[in-house]
Chain A
Amino acid sequence: MINQRFVVSISPHIKNGRTVRRMIVTTIAALAPAALWGFYQFGLDAVALVAVGITAACGTEALISRLAGKSSSLSDGHAVLTGLVLALLVPAGVPFWLVIVGAVMAILVGKMPFGPLGGAPIYPALVGLLIVATSWPNEIKSYVQPTTAPTELKVEGAADAEFPRDAVFIDPSDEAEYKTADLFMGKQVGPIGAISPLLLLLGGLFLILRRVARWQAPFGFLVGMGVAAGIGHALDPGGCASASFHLFTGSAMFGAFFLCTDWSSTPVTPWGMFLFGLIGGGLAVLLRIAGLPYGAVPWAIVIMSLATPIFDRITPTPFGKVASHA
């Protein structure tokens, strides 16, 4: 025993066993209920799109890793998550090639140039999504009638409708036709994985309880959207739907819990996260009203991500230091 040499390292000598892979698997698990609801509502097309998205993302990552001569990082599951999120954010009627292009772009442009996981300044899936949404503005709006809809939805006249533009294609006067409860329970038209605010909320709370995400950014985002929509609705009921309508449609809930809580593209300090969400939520409502052709919530979060380094400067006063207003 005396002459045996032991391992030497710096403290701490124990860890809680959490790994990047586990956190990503938890995130995918949190998304699963909303994805399954989407599969139920939109059928096998939705399943196929998600499968294609994941396959394309993983294939691109494996190929680029090999070309760049790096060890493959597929095992951490991030490529799967990227493909999944991308596919869940498009409507079920889009052509397959659109999702493939989006997934390839997400990895090729959004993730790999920035080195290992943690370098991407913008959520890679959003990069892919916005590239295809901007390039093929008509194809991206291939909304499909869900299996259970509360009323006859005007999917056919979609392109003419005015708002909210990344959400249900109805105009403000139609809002009264939709019960808030139906929207909340996921009986609406929208992207595959984003139509069920209830399941997304539960998934998000699961992430927060598992300490994979923090509550500040989602909370800030929902408050920001609610307040902005509330003000807009009070000022001009004909031009802006109510707060609950904004919160329960489109990718608002998805954005709050799964996009605002990304790692590298969002702040890590408590106030930074809250303000990031708050301003992002307000911006999303503004973009919806001002008339983006598609994807107000993704665009708002992308724009906020570019400002993440600024929000990261809002650090709390360290223990025992006097607050300074520098």
Chain B
Amino acid sequence: MDISFFSRGIKLSRRVKPGKIERIPPPGRVVLPLQQGSGPPAEPSIEIGEAVKVGQTIARGASNSGADLHASISGEVTAIEDLHFPNGTTVKALVIEGDGKDTWVEPDRDDKPLIASPGELLERIRCGGVIREGSDTKSLAEVIGEAMSPRGYLSPTGSAVAKPVRHIAVRFSDQDPHLDALAALTATIGDETAELDLGVKVLATITGAEQIHFVLDNKQEAPGVDKLADDNDYSVLHVDAANYPCLSSPMVARAVSGKEPDTAFKRVHENGILVLDVNTVLETALAARDRRPVISRLITVGSLAGAGVFEARLGTPLADIASAAGQKEKIGKVVLGGPMKGLAHHTLDFPLTKEISGITLFAQDQVTMAVNDPCVGCGLCAMVCPIRLTPGMLSRYCEFSSWDLAQEAHLFSCIECGCCAYVCPAGRSMVQFMVQGKSELLSTRRSES
């Protein structure tokens, strides 16, 4: 089944062949923020001045499901400093000065991880520092832990209702067609699917998922993945990833389950569908089998001049990655992530974190300023909205502070994909209005309760 036939969305250009993955050597100094995803920050478990090896735990996840943080180079922890995040918050970050030796901690391999109990596997994922990135980036252990111990959902009869994970869908291509790190990673998997196989089985063991789905772009050829799916009776879906946002979690969830999940409050996985990226699955396998933590990240560095896929250690300054990617023009804008959903940051003096799936660089003359003219009522946004909202009307509600009307018009279902702003002839910052409306409504609700 091809979901792009049903989805609305927009057509974006996509490169047919992903580039080769280039490795950026470990930097001399890394900065590792304690904040990982939306939860509380991790707590440092080492002292300043302590020597660390690659892969050594340097901060423990908050609560019993937060992801751990590990040293990505060997050297000495020299400081805890403040780091300004692009979302406006300031968090603490550990600084490691490298010794240039790149010595690893002793491996602790378990050749039969599937014998371990689900709880043990979940703990290994947490200790491995695996993050699930998406609209609500969180520790993977927290996401699938929720499925194991249901929160207090009450059915009409008063008893707690479990919300088990029934489907796991694995994405082999980035949501944003301008990024191709996942496609490049899929190309390197080739026929060696042992880790992919293990990762999927670990996740299925923990969550009890009945069905596994592999979601690929229809231009991707991955015979190894196809064979693995064939051997294990997983389903394989091909979608046209250029038809943005058909690889977003709600659209993938509809494609695999045939039902549309409610998108309000980002709760797609509560409908029993867990959508993960292939790199997360591979990280899970490594964490469960080799107890190897996440210390590096695959990212797309894109600019209008070209793009490349790089693997770099966490904490590597983005400026180093940009110069390794050969960025020479004068940069006017830096976006962490793809151009459709990424966060703009005011500086390249920021480390690579687990949440960053790509860097998109715009030259100074490519930066467009928001116009924000009044809505002309042309209806293009309503035509492309994959959630079937009427974004033009919603933006007007939010523009004139009619928050209640916006909520009635299903503002919270908006997935902030940006299709409406992409097509808006009046140049309105549609996503800005939506996000502002949501935060106004949430803060009102908080102050009332």
A5 at interface by CB-CB < 8 Å: yes
Does B378 touch A at the CB level, under 8 Å? Answer: yes
Instruction: For chain B, residues 377 to 411, give those with C-beta under 8 angstroms from any C-beta of chain A.
Output: 377-380, 382-383, 386-390, 392-393, 409-410
Chain B, residue nearest A262 (CB): B377
Asked if residues B346 and A6 are in contact (CB atoms below 8 Å), the reply is yes
Contact B431 A119 (CB under 8 A): no
Once A7-B333, A319-B250 are accepted as A-B contacts, the answer to whether A2 and B344 lie under 8 Å apart by CB is no
Chain A, 105-158, CB within 8 A of any chain B CB:
115-119
Report the minimal beta-carbon distance from A22 to chain B, rounded to whole angstroms: 7
Instruction: Provide the A262-283 mask, 1 if CB < 8 A to any CB of B, else 0.
Output: 0110011110010000000000
Q: Bound state CA distance, A7 and B367, in angstroms?
A: 8
Which of B59-67, B119-127, B179-187, B422-430 forms contacts with chain A?
B422-430
Contact partners of B146 in chain A: CB under 8 A = none
Known contacts A6-B333, A321-B262; A263 and B413 CB within 8 A of each other: no
- Bound-complex Cα distance A186 to B373 (A): 40
**What chain A residues lie within 8 Å of B373 (beta carbons)?**
20, 116
Q: Which residues of the partner chain B approach A214 to less than 8 Å between Cβ atoms?
A: 379, 383
Which of B200-208, B210-218, B334-342 participates in binding chain A? B334-342
Inside 8 A of B374's CB, which chain A residues have their CB? Answer: 115-119
A4 contacts B by Cβ under 8 Å: yes
Main secondary structure on chain B at its contact with chain A? loop
| CA distance in complex: A118, B427 (Å) | 14
**Contact in complex: B345, A6 (CB < 8 Å):** yes
Structural contact, B423 and A16, CB atoms closer than 8 A: yes
B376 contacts the other chain (CB 8 A): yes
For B261, the chain A residues whose CB sits under 8 A away are 320
Q: Which B residue's beta carbon lies closest to that of A308?
A: B377
Q: Is the CB of A11 within 8 A of B418?
A: yes
**B343 and A11 contacting across the interface, CB-CB below 8 Å:** yes
Chain B residues positioned under 8 Å from A9 (CB to CB) = 333, 344, 369-370, 429
- Assess whether B387 is in contact with A318, with CB atoms less than 8 Å apart: yes
The answer, yes or no, to whether A176 is at the interface (CB within 8 Å) is no
B413 and A318 form a contact (CB under 8 A): yes
List A contacts of B422 (CB < 8 A).
12, 14-16
Q: How large is the interface on A (under 10, 10 to 19, 20 to 34, 35 or more residues)?
A: 35 or more
A residues in contact with B362, CB < 8 Å? 13
A325 located at the interface, meaning its Cβ lies under 8 Å from any Cβ of chain B in the complex:
no
Q: Does A316 contact B (CB under 8 A)?
A: yes
Known: A15-B422, A312-B390, A319-B386. A6 touches B375 (CB 8 A): no
Determine if B390 and A315 form an interchain contact, defined as CB atoms under 8 angstroms apart. yes
Interface range for B = 35 or more
- A19 and B435 alpha carbons, distance in the complex (Å): 24
1/0 contact trace for A1-35 toward B, CB 8 Å?
A: 11111111111111110111011000000000000
Which of the listed residues A12, A14, A16 has the most CB atoms from chain B within 10 Å of its own CB? A12
Q: Are A318 and B388 in contact (CB under 8 A)?
A: yes
Contact yes or no, A268 B392, CB < 8 A: yes
B331→A320 contact, CB < 8 A = no
A14 cross-chain contacts in B, Cβ below 8 A: 339-340, 422
Distance, CA A201 to CA B427, complexed state (A): 30
Number of A-B contacts defined by CB within 8 Å: 164
Judge whether B425 and A2 touch: CB under 8 Å: no
Residues of A within 8 A of B323 (CB): 1
Assess whether B439 is interfacial by the CB under 8 Å rule: no
Whether B382 and A269, one on each chain, are in contact in the complex, defined by CB atoms closer than 8 angstroms, is: yes
Residues of B within 8 A of A2 (CB): 319, 347-349
On whether the beta carbons of B416 and A11 are closer than 8 Å, the reply is yes
Nearest CB in chain A: distance from B368 CB, A: 6
Proximity bits, A238-276, B CB within 8 Å = 1, else 0: 000000000000000000000000011001111001000
Give complex CA distance A13, B370 in Å. Answer: 10
Asked if B130 lies at the interface with its beta carbon under 8 angstroms from chain A, I say no
Contact A264 B334 (CB under 8 A): no
**Separation in Å of the A276 CB from the closest CB of chain B?**
12
Using known A-B contacts A9-B370, A13-B362, A312-B393, determine if residue A1 contacts B376 with beta carbons closer than 8 Å: no
B32 proximal to A (CB < 8 A): no
A6 touches B263 (CB 8 A): no
Residues of A within 8 A of B264 (CB): 320
CB-nearest residue of chain A to B342:
A11
Cβ of B355 within 8 Å of any chain A Cβ, yes or no, is: no
Q: Indicate whether A15 sits within 8 Å of B427 (C-beta atoms), given known contacts A116-B374, A320-B261, A321-B410.
A: yes
Chain B residues whose CB sits within 8 angstroms of the CB of A270 once the complex forms: 382
Q: Are A315 and B360 in contact (CB under 8 A)?
A: no
Instruction: Flag whether A70 is at the interface (Cβ < 8 A).
Output: no
Q: Which chain A residues border B86 with CB–CB below 8 Å?
A: 8
Given contacts A6-B347, A118-B426, A319-B413, contact A12 B382 (CB under 8 A): no
Kindly state whether residue A317 has any CB partner on chain B within 8 Å: yes
Q: Tell whether A268 pairs with B427 under 8 Å between CB atoms, given A319-B387, A321-B410.
A: no
B423/A264 in contact, CB under 8 A:
no
Q: Is the CB of A8 within 8 A of B345?
A: yes
Q: How far is the CB of B404 from chain A (nearest CB, A)?
A: 16
* Cα distance, A19 to B413, chains bound together (Å): 27
Nearest CB in chain B: distance from A183 CB, A: 31
Are A12 and B421 also in contact (CB < 8 A) when A1-B319, A5-B346, A320-B250 are?
yes
Chain B neighbourhood of A273, CB < 8 A: 379
The residue on A at minimum CB distance from B374 is: A116
For residue A321, give the distance in angstroms from its CB to the closest CB of chain B: 7
The 4 closest A-B pairs by CB, nearest first: A268-B379, A12-B418, A118-B376, A320-B262
**20 A–B contacts from the bound complex (CB under 8 Å):** A2-B349, A3-B349, A4-B331, A6-B333, A6-B344, A9-B333, A9-B369, A9-B429, A10-B431, A12-B340, A18-B380, A18-B425, A19-B427, A20-B426, A118-B377, A263-B376, A312-B390, A315-B388, A320-B260, A320-B261
* Known contacts A1-B348, A263-B379, A320-B260; 18 further A-B pairs (Cβ under 8 A): A2-B349, A5-B346, A6-B334, A8-B344, A9-B333, A11-B335, A11-B342, A12-B421, A19-B425, A22-B425, A23-B425, A212-B378, A214-B379, A268-B378, A315-B390, A318-B410, A319-B260, A319-B263
